[in-house]
Amino acid sequence: MAALGPGVGLAAKASVIGVLLMIMAGVGWWWGGARTDYETGVGWARDQPVPFSHEHHVAGLGIDCRFCHSGVEQSAHAGLPPTYTCMTCHSQVWTNAGVLEPVRASLAQDKPIRWNRVVDLPGYVYFNHAIHIAKGVGCANCHGAVDRLPLMAKQKPFTMKFCLDCHRDPGPKLRPRSAVFDLHWQRDANTPTPQQLLDFYHIGGRRLTDCTICHR
């Protein structure tokens, strides 16, 4: 039997190293790729039937979050405004603007506008807006400073880690009731301490990291 040439050992080593590198690259992409902004959608504006600008309506006109998202304090879902809410203003201003034709058509045909979700949690995740608002979690904690967005885009990854980081230590994320809808609120010397806010909102006595909190 002829002896194997000296190049065979080198080729075998190169093959093994190549396979290991491929495995490492696969694990790296599985671990890190799913957490990139591209995969989580952070910073990527979704196409919408009407290019609604939070920057214009919130920062420019001073419209409160609750004017459009009327269910945020009472419901699990913040809700989207019905067309007649939009037409409260747009029956008087920009009445013939082409960009608002879908809004006028929605009212005339009595059909809701089909907006594309920006934040879409998996079906196995339970989230309740009302309880978070009631416990002093500000809109900006999850949605960022939307008054700076000409087109709405997700500002946080909404991964399991994102939620657990808050649930493990909620105190620093809480704010006084008067500041919940203030997109640019900052702590100052007069702000209650995290522990004082935890006591005020009666947060305690239940492990917020239990699986059944979010998975029901």
Q: How is the chain split into domains, by residue range? A: 121-214
pLDDT(5) > 80: no
Q: What is the model's pLDDT at position 33?
A: 61
* Nearest of 212, 211, 194 to residue 203 by alpha carbon: 194
- For 103-140, how does the pLDDT look when each residue is reduced to its tens digit (9 = 90+)? 999 999 999 999 999 998 999 999 999 999 999 999 99
pLDDT(1) > 60: no
Give me the mean pLDDT over the 151-175 stretch. 96
Burial class of residue 136 (count of CB atoms within 10 Å of its CB; 0-12, 13-18, 19+): buried
Dihedrals phi, psi of 153, to nearest 5 degrees: -145, 150
Q: What is the model's pLDDT at position 39?
A: 84
